[in-house]
Amino acid sequence: MNLNIGVIKGDGIGPEIVTEAMKVLDKVAEVYGHTCKYTQLLMGGASIDVHGVPLTDETVAAAKACDAVLMGSIGGDAGTSPWYRLEPSKRPEAGLLKIRKELNLFANLRPAVLYDELKGACPLKEEITEGGFDMVIMRELTGGLYFGERSTGEINGVLTARDSLTYNENEIRRIAKRGFDIAAKRRKKVTSVDKANVLDTSRLWRNVVEEVAAGYPEVTLEHMLVDNCAMQLVKDPKQFDVILTENMFGDILSDEASMVTGSIGMLASASLNETKFGLYEPSGGSAPDIAGKGIANPIATILSMAMMLRYSFDLDKEADAVEAAVAKVLEKGCRTIDIMSEGKTQIGTEEMGNLIAESI
Ligand code: NAD
């Protein structure tokens, strides 16, 4: 297969961690007989330095012509970087918002995986995490409370603020379908999270999700109220496979789920639209504090690349191989500084990439 991939190396540690992910991908291509065509794209601070804006229309067009985009992270130190003296619409993060909008990336997918080898980094009790856990949170990204009408003003002399929460059936249906597609490739369970005992949007959510579920008889659906889900994530995280939820609930729950896995350097993410296209990036930022030191953990980017293989190219065997290679290197006791613990061997970004590539 020919993989037509856009690459946004980005800022800070971005170029270091993306280089390692490409190294592993090249090894996958070699072993499994694929070819990779990479198109380098500028976004964030790197684009500001060249074009004066964080994302040009030409770059958006070039990204759209790719099958998927692999991204590092963008942005700099807000206190010292000249990028943050620009007006907000010209700062690095504006590029991220623009690309999500232009590519209609309405579904955000964040896995929370606890590797048995890293369970020491998990703040939960050992009896809860024994054997590790492996879930993904599918969060609606372009609707709901964060995009509703809002206002602040005086009503009868009292200062009053208002935010509105709206979802239509189409917005719910398209993310539910993506959620069930992903569950069908995993352990075949969807937990749809809402607040249907209170909110109309949640009651519509529940009805539409049930209607979509009828088309996926092999996937089990359960509903859970968001307050209960917040508790269950720390009480029994192993019960979850795919958590499907709206924007604000997903924002909160995905941070809670990622916290229980340990380091930010391990957290992959994907933003998807209705087609097979996706933007794959680590959940962390550009870590300007460690940029250029060769110590950043490339695993989140490597695991994001594995998600790209699985969800944009349907190369499940290859994605499994990448995930197994990561687990193997961790089993050997190799650690970057952020996941280092006593008795393990500390290695740098490049060495971690080399070891994972060699394990493919
Ligand atoms: P950050 O995630 O960059 O860093 C937080 C802490 O985690 C730092 O101590 C950093 O060294 C560490 N860390 C992050 N990734 C790591 C890795 N791969 N390996 C080892 N350690 C890692 O968050 P921040 O400091 O709040 O933000 C820095 C910049 O990143 C800001 O400009 C912010 O806007 C931007 N940002 C970008 C994205 C994105 O591109 N999607 C997301 C979040 C933040």
pLDDT tens for each residue of 335-348: 999 888 889 999 99
Specify if 141 maps to a domain.
no
Q: Name residues whose C-beta falls within 8 Å of residue 31's C-beta, 6 or more positions apart in sequence.
A: 321, 360
Position 304 scores a pLDDT of: 97
Specify if 188 maps to a domain.
no
Position 201 scores a pLDDT of: 98
pLDDT tens for each residue of 182-223: 999 899 999 999 999 999 999 999 999 999 999 999 999 999
Q: Check the annotation: does 287 bind a ligand.
A: yes
Q: What is the CATH number of the domain that holds 300?
A: 3.40.718.10
Contact between residue 224 and residue 202 where contact means Cβ atoms under 8 Å apart: no
Position 166 scores a pLDDT of: 96
Burial class (CB in 10 A: 0-12, 13-18, 19+), 193: buried
Burial class (CB in 10 A: 0-12, 13-18, 19+), 110: buried
Position 264 scores a pLDDT of: 79
* pLDDT < 70: residue spans in the chain: none
Tell me if 75 CB under 6 Å of ligand 1.
yes
**Spatial distance between the Cα atoms of 229 and 223, rounded to a whole number of angstroms:** 10
CB burial of 326-353 (b: ≥16 within 10 Å; e: otherwise) equals: bbbbbeeebbbbbbbeeeeeebbbebbb
Q: Where would I find the beta strands (DSSP E) of the chain? A: 2-10, 35-40, 68-73, 107-114, 133-140, 150-155, 158-163, 189-194, 220-225, 242-245, 268-272, 278-282, 334-335, 345-346
Q: Give, using CA atoms, the residue closest to atom 43 of ligand 1.
A: 285
**Spatial distance between the Cα atoms of 237 and 125, rounded to a whole number of angstroms:** 12
Q: Check the annotation: does 162 bind a ligand.
A: no
> What CA–CA distances, in Å, run from 292 to 164, 165, 348?
43, 43, 11
Position 116 scores a pLDDT of: 81
Tell me if 179 CB under 6 Å of ligand 1.
no
Specify if 272 maps to a domain.
yes
Specify if 213 maps to a domain.
no
Specify if 23 maps to a domain.
yes
Residue 256 structure tokens: 């809670």
Q: Which of 103, 98, 57, 105 is nearest to 74 (CA)?
A: 98
Q: Check the annotation: does 62 bind a ligand.
A: no
Q: What is the residue range of 291's domain?
A: 1-107+267-360
Specify if 67 maps to a domain.
yes
DSSP 238: G
Distance 340 CA to ligand 1 centre (A): 18
Position 258 scores a pLDDT of: 83
Specify if 354 maps to a domain.
yes
DSSP 248: H
Where in the sequence numbering do the catalytic residues fall? 146, 195, 227, 251, 255
Contact between residue 245 and residue 138 where contact means Cβ atoms under 8 Å apart: yes
What atom in ligand 1 is closest to the CA of residue 284?
Answer: 2
Specify if 340 maps to a domain.
yes
Total domain count, the chain = 1
Instruction: Give helix 299-311 / helix 349-358 axis angle, nearest 10°.
Output: 40
Position 115 scores a pLDDT of: 84
